[in-house]
Amino acid sequence: MTSIAASSSADPKPLVGVFDSGLGGLSVLSVLHRTLPEHPLHYVADSAHAPYGERTDEYVAARTLAIGGHLVASGARLIVVACNTATAVAVAALRERWPEIPVVGVEPAIKPAVKTSASGRIGVMATPTTLRSAKFQRLLDAHGGDATIVLQPCPGLAGQIERGDLDAPDMVAMIETFCAPLRDARVDTVVLGCTHYPFVRHHIQAAMGEGVMLIDTAWPVSRQAARLLGVTPEDAPSTAPVMLQTTGDVAHLRSVVSRWLDFPCNVSAASQI
């Protein structure tokens, strides 16, 4: 995999591009902001075309390449695909189109879940597209081992989270519906297989019970990004600029950012993508 040579302290740090079908990737952006404090970040929320998890593979691939092109043109030297569905469907196409740009994808954390689970009974909450993808099946084959893995598609959940009200009664009811089969299956570990889901982690935890471990992938993604950038991941305050763009409603993104993130961002439209 391509990596970026470390620059001298006098050189500007490479821009890191990040994108998701919408707002879920902000969970990854938040960790990147903490662990890559000197690197400017450019995030694109493709909210006008969200959620990817309910689109065709061809549609997701086309949007992934369009946004990848936008980030490369904006100066990104590394791209983080902060979307499980886009990673599953189109990360290979992204790497083929721009082989000189390192790409970090996200995928459901099956391997750490298998290592963590005491009972070997694991639930995976994800979009229907992620769960039916060949990439996800390969992940199960490689790391599932002898574990009993219960797949729980969550149609509509990412879209509900996109609306921004994380405590809406409809949201809580939807989460309860999706968690009930996992409780019945007596899983002791649940993989959050969509970057939107960490924002409603408190509701998922309440529905599953305190004894169930929830696992997502933001920290492993940040460590991989740091490795490719040739830097040591830190957990330090950042003064590097963060640009957020959306293909959807700019006012909505500003409102969500003010409630979900604890650092300043420059928010603008990306309607040209």
- Domain contains 247: yes
How far is Cα of residue 8 from the mean position of the Cα atoms in its chain?
A: 30
Q: Take residue 43 and report the two structure tokens written for it.
A: 């995030």
50 falls in which pLDDT band (50, 70, 90)? confident
Does pLDDT of 3 surpass 90?
A: no
Mark whether 210 and 238 lie in a shared domain: no
For the domain that residue 265 is a member of, what is the CATH number? Answer: 3.40.50.1860
Give 195-245 pLDDT, tens digit per residue.
999 999 999 999 999 999 999 999 899 999 999 999 988 877 788 999 999
pLDDT score, position 62: 97
In a domain, 8, yes or no: no
Using N-to-C axis directions, what is the helix angle for 57-73 and 84-97, rounded to 10°? 60
**Residue 248 to residue 52: CA distance in whole angstroms:** 14
Q: Which residues are tagged catalytic? A: 83, 194
Q: Are residues 154 and 201 in the same domain?
A: yes
The annotation places the binding site for substrate at 20-21, 52-53, 84-85, 195-196
Total number of domains in the chain: 2
Query: How far separated are the first and last CA of the chain, in Å rounded?
Result: 27
Whether pLDDT at 96 is above 60? yes
Give the pLDDT band (50/70/90) at residue 33: very high
| Enclosing domain of residue 91 | 15-106+219-269
Residue 8 predicted with pLDDT over 50: no
**219/223 Cα distance (integer angstroms):** 6
Q: Predicted confidence band at 271 (pLDDT cuts at 50, 70, 90)?
A: confident
Task: Look at residues 43, 7, 23, 70 and name the one whose alpha carbon lies nearest to residue 253.
Answer: 23
How far apart are the C-alpha atoms of 80 and 222, rounded to whole Å?
Answer: 9
